[in-house]
Structure 1
């Protein structure tokens, strides 16, 4: 039998924790019966909705995949609970309530990223430069007009730009809103710009906060490289308006990420006060990445030379090492019903992956 959300009564929940929900994420479902309203009500004022929702559902027990019903403005309108943290906790006046729907950005909020700086290998220059962002997020009021509001991460694909942003959020205990730039391109003119403004409004309610825009070049290509569509142009203009600080956003750091910094439009690139380069791992860093990941293999590993593997995987990013090399080795072993993985398995995988014009990488190992 499915539970229904109701205000908590201690006699009904003798073993229930009295923890208050930090946040819940809702999805608009609609009315249980046909209504004269063809569409669900659109939230125009995020702050007002937060207050209204908390006041209405204060004291309710929130369970994932169950429903909350509007009893005031749109009676019987239903929202489904997609996430609640902590699980099965009580909605209180401090609970943050967010709505995911097709009209706005797909739910990108990660309140507590599990990625830590220990998960990031190398990138010493990025670590050094990002200390400024750390200090800003820990004390936004202490920077004034000198705040690092807009930072650009750039470098080859798979070098850890997204992972680093999440680790930064974790270290500063700040929420992060990761968005792919392609998500901002709507079906209709005006939709993308509206999403940009909603994005920053949501971030303002959670500040200090990181907005992470991945694949920035999808909307920020130099005009010499494309015929700029009208909807993309308005998205860029809306983004520039928010980044310029015309509307004050205290405690928000916008981090853009791209693999193609050379093709970014100069007007957008100039808005980033700091550019931080992410580089491919060197030999010792590749060895560390391999060591960290093979410890989680479900098949035992015997007698492998990690330094040798690292030496002959030059040019691979961290993601390449994991997705193209380690995963290939593991999957092959599983398919072949092997009891353990040895150096030959890695040599075979490297041989396939690192082909050269004059043979293979392994052909040169013994020269």
Structure 2
């Protein structure tokens, strides 16, 4: 009798906990938590749901795309219907490891109270930290005034500014310095992050980026490597996935929503390949140039002063700087100074020898700066 009761109890558990169809066992309940767009997220990595019932209704509408899939805690389910690429993290499955079925209950995990947004404080960079680029710094006074007094400019505001010039010449640093000087938030983004896996994803992120900026204005949106998306139309025929991103960017740059206190700074080292429609939206173009011999000397000496090893007293920085003309400060720091220092450490030298600097510079001259568009700035 007890054996029979145990058998009946087991059958009852199976009936209540899962559903069977063609040998597949379906879970009774799956608890989810929204994860946003984790692969290309710009705004929220852990979004807060204001209306749980609405979210569960959304899950109910798209759940059939996951039916038959076995899930376990920690895995992600991606929406490929309504909001393509949106992810939900599986918190728990009852029973564990079973598949999602037509009768599986999909629930939203309880969430804590909505947290206050805590912005990351960027590293403080001042104009004095940027050696050279005097013309660029002077032009940036206009942006500085606008961010300090956004209501005073009206339709004359410099809302869209293009930084252009060879790689490693301080474009990103100057944007950081501007944000620090005016005490506004810098929202940096690489243009390549805007290229999503699904059609419409990039455009959505552009609009969300500007909505985020509006909530913290005055601020700077810094789009690095903007040429990755804002290509000339003849190149866009080969890269059709960026056309909708470009159109969304143009819409925001035109200021159809009349957002005040937002300055978009695009950065490129391929200005000649930019789409003319995008380029025309920039009210100001600020050029950056390679450092001259005196500026190179300042860059080198500033970095040599913080070397963890002493430098051979025979090393003549002024003479070396004249030999290094034609390269950016970043190239010289990363590919000459760092290379020489690492070699001295590997070879267990008491100081960095002159030969190490000369060899590193000779190697850099062989390969160039690594920037494939230097001919634009010859």
Q: Which runs of 4+ in 1 moved over 6 A?
A: 49-52
Contact kept, 8 Å, 1:50 with 1:96, in 2: the verdict is no
1:286 matches 2:280: no
Q: What's the offset of the Cα at 1:50?
A: 8.9
Distance in 2 between residues matched to 1:229 and 1:35, nearest whole Å? 43
Q: 1:50 to 1:243 in 2, by over 3 A?
A: farther
Displacement of 1:225: 3.0
**Aligned residue for 1:40?**
34
**Residues 1:173 and 2:183 aligned together:** yes
Structure 1: where are the runs of 5+ without partners?
1-33, 53-72, 82-90, 98-108, 357-367
Separation (CA, whole Å) in 2 of partners of 1:96 and 1:191? 24
Aligned residues: 279
CA RMSD in angstroms, aligned pairs only = 3.0
**Contact map agreement 1:113 1:167 (CA 8 A) in 2:** no
The question of whether the paired residues in 2 share the 8 Å contact of 1:112 and 1:173 is answered with no
Q: Choose 1 or 2 for highest CA Rg.
A: 2
- Equivalent-residue separation in structure 2 for 1:332 and 1:263 (angstroms): 39
1:96 paired to 2:113: no
**Pick aligned residue for 1:136 from 146, 156, 160:** 146
Do the aligned residues in 2 keep the contact of 1:181 with 1:216 (CA within 8 Å)?
yes
| Structure 1 residues 20-43: Cα deviation after superposition (integer angstroms, max 9, x where no partner) | xxxxxxxxxxxxxx9645451769
State yes or no: 1:331 paired with 2:342. Answer: yes
Matched, 1:346 2:357: yes
Distance 1:179 1:258 in 2: 13
Q: What is the aligned partner in structure 1 of residue 110 from structure 2?
A: 76
2:155 maps to 1:145: yes
Contact 1:299/1:341 (8 A) holds in 2:
yes
SS of residue in 2 equivalent to 1:76: coil
Normalised TM-score (structure 1): 0.70
Correspondence for 1:59: none
Q: SS in structure 1 opposite 2:151? A: helix
TM-score, structure 2 as length reference? 0.68
8 Å CA contact 1:111–1:174 kept in 2: the answer is no
1:110 and 1:174 map into 2 onto residues whose CA distance is 12
Is 2:194 the counterpart of 1:194?
no
